[in-house]
């Protein structure tokens, strides 16, 4: 699954993905075979789950394209 998500990012962004691991507790730890996958683009302020959380429209559109491609790859893969 991680390779499919990485491929979706790299193909949409035309750059190598930097994979990150969080030591924090996420919903992914509660579900079997689950990966937390979100849009934090290089050089951008991380506002997710903070007071006055926001995302710039251009980043939202990029993230939507990445998610669509990722869903396609995941739906067409056998795990």
pLDDT at residue 68 greater than cutoff 90: yes
Contact between residue 19 and residue 10 where contact means Cβ atoms under 8 Å apart: no
CA distance 42 to 19: 12
Largest Cα span, the chain: 39
CA distance 12 to 73: 13
Q: Domains of the chain: which residue ranges?
A: 2-75
pLDDT at residue 24, as a whole number? 59
CA distance 67 to 45: 20
pLDDT at residue 23, as a whole number? 59
| pLDDT single digits (tens) 9-53 | 999 999 999 887 765 566 667 777 778 788 788 899 888 888 999
pLDDT at residue 76 greater than cutoff 80: yes
What distances in angstroms separate CA 76 from CA 23, 32, 36, 69, 72, one per listed residue?
Answer: 30, 20, 19, 11, 6
């Amino acid at each position: 699954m991680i390779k499919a998500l990485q491929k979706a990012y790299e193909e949409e962004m035309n750059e190598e993905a930097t994979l990150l691991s969080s030591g924090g507790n996420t919903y992914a730890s509660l579900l079997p075979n689950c990966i937390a996958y979100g849009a934090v683009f290089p050089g951008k302020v991380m506002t997710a789950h903070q007071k006055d959380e926001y995302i710039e429209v251009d980043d939202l559109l990029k993230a939507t394209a990445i998610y669509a491609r990722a869903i396609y790859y995941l739906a067409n893969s056998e795990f």
